[in-house]
Amino acid sequence: MDLPSPDRAAYLLDFDGTLVDIAPAPDLVMVDAGLPESLRRLRVLCGDAVAIVTGRPIAQVDALLPDAVYAIAGEHGTALRPAPDAEIVVSALPALPASWLERAAHLAAAHPGAALEHKRHGFVLHYRAVPDAGAPLRIGVERLLAGVSGYELMAAKMAWEVRPAGIDKGSAVRALMCRPPFLGRVPIYVGDDVTDEDGMAAARALGGVGLRVDEAFGSPQGVRGWLSKISQKGVM
């Protein structure tokens, strides 16, 4: 791949399905032992311009990758911590109606094996453990959102996510690239899912690169190998 060298680049990385393998449930994900050190070495090479851009809450990334990256954009950009010691900036969005969570919980319960993940401004229904539930869960969520503005339904890997409209990983990329140490660098966004398309598009619009895991690396293991190589040798 013909990519900018680390001294010119900013690395904007999705988490699930990109840095780590997809797990049956979000809390069962496993972090490869060498990944945090690769990210720390990469920070040295690129002047700290390494960020995680994820649908997960920031606290979860902190627990899984302690002190490994400089910035974290969580919950698809609705929460942003632009530096390790900075306060988390939360988008001014309405709280999710409690009745929606109740109905989502009923939907999950009706399909044993499905799981509800609550986020600050939305929720996710995971059906990896019960693939046949994908279609009825989608129909149930579409009925929930019928006639409602301000929210959208997004397809993810074996999951359906409800999130505020207009807030996505592209907005997170743009917000990060306006700030040091990302400012003035060439963004390299790496992601694996439909929700990463906005991040890839934003990186390309800013003169950078958007890479899909399956096309560029084959798997999260390939991404980890790439990061390990460039963090040790400083070459692409």
Half-sphere exposure of 147 (CA within 13 A, CB side): 2
Nearest-Å Rg of the Cα atoms of the chain is: 18
pLDDT in tens, the chain (236 residues): 689 999 999 999 999 999 999 887 788 899 999 999 999 999 999 999 999 999 899 999 999 999 999 999 998 888 999 999 999 988 777 777 888 999 999 999 999 999 998 877 789 899 988 999 999 999 999 999 888 888 889 888 888 989 888 778 999 999 999 999 999 999 999 999 888 999 999 999 999 999 999 999 999 999 999 999 999 875 54
pTM of the model: 0.81
Compute how many other C-beta atoms are within 10 angstroms of the C-beta atom of residue 31: 16
pLDDT at 234: 57
Contacts (Cβ under 8 Å, ≥6 apart) of 27? none
Burial (0-12, 13-18, 19+ Cβ within 10 Å), 77 = buried
In three-state secondary structure terms, 97 is: coil
DSSP string, 130-184: -GGGHHHHHHHHHHHHTT--SEEEEEETTEEEEEETT--HHHHHHHHHTSTTTTT
Q: How far is CA 46 from CA 58, 89, 111, 216, 220, in A?
A: 22, 24, 46, 21, 21
In three-state secondary structure terms, 80 is: strand
User: Is 196 designated active site?
Assistant: no
**Residue 61 and residue 26 in contact, taking contact as beta carbons nearer than 8 Å:** no
Q: Which of 14, 168, 193, 196 is catalytic?
A: 14
Cα–Cα distance between 18 and 41 in angstroms, integer?
A: 18
pLDDT at 125: 93
pLDDT at 166: 74
